[in-house]
Structure formats: C-alpha cells, structure tokens
Amino acid sequence: MKIQEFNVGPRFIFGEDAISELSNLSIKKAYIVCDPYMAKSGMIHHVLDHLDQGAVETKIFSGVVPNPTVESISKSISEIRAFKPDTIIALGGGSALDSSKAIILTYTSLEKVSKPTLIAIPTTSGSGSEITSFAVISDLLTEEKYALVDDSLVPDIAILDTVFTMTVPPAVTADSGMDVLTHCLEAYVADGASDFSDACAEKAIVLAWENLPLAYKDGNNKVAREKMHNASSLAGISFNNAGLGICHSLSHAIGAFFHSPHGRINTVLLPYVIAFNSSLSHPTVTPTGSRYAKIASMLQFDFQNEKEGVEKLISGIKQLSAQFGIKGTLDDLGIDKSDFIKHIPEMAERALADACTPANPRKVTKSDLESIYYSLARSI
C-alpha cells in the first residue's frame, strides 16, 4: 500500500449564528472579498456588525464576478497592497472564495509578506472551496481556465452559517448541490481515494441525496440548508485529499468557452463520465464500476449485479436532476449544438491537460474526451 496523507483543512465554526464568532477572533484589519450583490443587498452587514464589535478596520472589495477572471483579480491588487490586511474574509459562493485565494497568492508573491489569515464564509453549498487548496481562474483573452493548486490556498477558518444560504434561488441551490454530488462521486473513485476520503464522501453523498430536493423545494428549510452546507464541506475534504476527475476537466473546458454554470455542466456530464469510467460497454465490471455500484447500494437502489448497480446509479442521477428541471442536454447549458461541436477538439485538448485529469480512475486520451463531448451533443 502506498504512503498517503489526509488533511482536514481549516478550523470549522458551524451551527446557528456561527457568524457571531467573528467578534471573538483576533483581527485588526480585514479585507472583505465579495460580489456586488452581497454588498448591495446588505448581507455583508452580517459580517460587518460582528467585526465592528471588535473595532476591526475593514475594506470591502465587491468586484467579484461569476467564474472569476484574471482581470477582476487584478483590480483588487493595488487596493490590498495599500491596505495591508492581517485577515482576508471571503464572503460568497465559489467565485468569491476562488477570487480570495487568487488575491492572496498574488499579494503574498508580489509583497513577499506572510499570508494573511484567510476566513471563508460560503453563501452557497456547492464548491467546497472553503476547505480546499484549489481555485479556478479564467482568462477572457485566451478563453482558458487555470486551476491553481497550492497548500497555502486552504483557508484557516471556515464559518458555516445558514443565514447566508436561506435566500439562494432554487436554480442556484440545484446547480451547487449537484456540484456537491459530483465532488463526492469523483473523489470516491479517484486515484487518491482512501478510507479517510471515502468516509467523508459517503456521508456527504447521503446528506446531499436526501436534503438537496428538500432545500430546492423549500429554501426556508433550515435543517436541509444546514445539511447541504455540511455536505459541501465534507465533499471538499474528500476531493481535496483524493482528487477529482474528468467530469471537472470536461466541465472546465466547456465553462471557459460557453460560461454556463459550473454545477449545471457537471450535472449534465456526470452520467456520461460514470459510464465511461465504469467501461459499461465491456462485459465485465471494472474495479471502478464496483465502486460506483457500492454507492448505488448505499443509496438503497435495488439491483442484481454490479453492472446493473452502475446503471441504476446513472438512472438515479438523471431522475434527481430532472426534479430540478435539468434534462441532461446542451439546452440546459444554453449552448448551440453546432457551436459546441465546432469547439470539441480544442475543449478535449484542454480537458486532457486539466489539473483534475490525472486523478481520474481510467486513463484517458483526447479521443476519449471527444467521444464524451460528442455523446452529449447527440443527446435530445
């Protein structure tokens, strides 16, 4: 057995009114990174009110954009270099958290200073970025997405408070929640999977499978929102240690060209990736297929053999996503079929070079990735 490591990541603060713990932390100057909505809606005051109690000096950067870009990150650098914070607070979904990580990496590199304390406060339940060493940044000029991977990107503290998720719209709840499931399923079969990462993935799968439909149907369901927040972080712990796979690689390439929501792209791709990784067209079930069948059993699907178990899992995922109005076609992503097909060779090339690809349980070629894209293009 090879030598492995397992890291949990940040200190977690969670539960009702967890955000109040901000006033008990040792912070002097806080640079808050969020999107315009957080600032204009007043949601940011849940953070500012508790920082004010500790007389913390604050500066707000509210220029975060969906699928954060090199350009948006650059706008914050002169500000943070002048402000010199001891703490950076990332308030928002995956885009705010990824932006904060990129800002820290750039700032510490330019200024040659110690990393400020990074506090992650997720406002959606999906990216798992509050506990990972990953960030994804887009370059609009080259239409490429870059995966940043560095241990320094792991937040020091993660605060999980459902006060920030209660108003998340149903579509975003669904997209981010399906991203949680994708994280779990990829980590569970990834090359770096272990008993430790499996435990986190298994718990997160059950939590998400049971609670995502509830949170989607009733956004005010506090218990479902809390369980999805927990599932997201558990999934993050799992894939931060085990790795991901080609579902994310394929998704990153699509997102770079067409800018569709990341979680929704994963939802549409996931059945194709499971079928590919399991080698469903082969007469015998692969070890990866056996792993997927184990998940099907855990979710209490009824099947006679492992191959049928994989098929039931795929069918179950399609049925779950259908509850959220996701049919599993390019129409879900708002992408024109002919335009998509035109970009397949370049997308496959980028997916092959993606940082998530090496951990995939089945080794892939560019032709394999093109085939998955073409299968999606043929879906109706």
Kindly state the DSSP code that residue 164 receives in the 8-state scheme: G
Find the helix or strand (DSSP H, E) in which 120 lies: strand 117-122
Angstrom distance (rounded) from CA 33 to CA 118: 11
293-321 CB burial, b ≥16 within 10 A, e <16: bbbbeebebeeeebbebbbbbbebbeebb
Runs of H (alpha helix) within the chain: 36-40, 45-53, 70-83, 94-111, 170-189, 195-217, 222-242, 246-258, 262-278, 287-298, 306-322, 330-333, 337-353, 366-378
Q: What is the largest CA-CA distance in the chain?
A: 67
Contact 240, 133 (CB under 8 A): yes
Radius of gyration of the chain (CA): 20
- Eight-class DSSP state of 358: G
For residue 173, give both structure tokens.
């709840």
CATH fold group of domain 170-378: Dehydroquinate synthase-like, alpha domain (1.20.1090)
How open is the CA angle 155-125-186, to the nearest 5 degrees?
A: 85
Give Cα 347 to chain centroid, integer Å.
20
Q: Smallest Cα–Cα separation from 88: which of 71, 75, 74, 101?
A: 101
Blockwise average pLDDT, block size 10, the chain, 380 residues:
87 94 95 94 94 94 89 90 96 92 92 94 92 85 80 93 94 97 98 97 98 97 96 95 97 93 96 96 90 97 95 97 96 96 97 95 98 93
pLDDT for res 149: 82
Residues 347 and 249: beta-carbon distance below 8 Å: no
Bridge partners (DSSP) of residue 61 are: 33
Handedness of CA 218, 223, 226, 228 (dihedral sign): negative
β-sheet bridge partners, residue 13:
159
Helix axes 195-217, 306-322, angle to 10 degrees: 30
**Domain at 11-164, CATH from 3.40.50.300, 3.30.450.40, 3.40.50.1970, 1.10.10.60:** 3.40.50.1970
The number of residues in the chain equals 380
Map tokens 């950076």 to a residue: 88
**Alpha carbons 311 and 181: distance in angstroms, whole number:** 17
Could you give the CA distance from residue 356 to residue 147 in angstroms, rounded to a whole number?
8
Tell me the domain boundaries of the chain: 11-164, 170-378
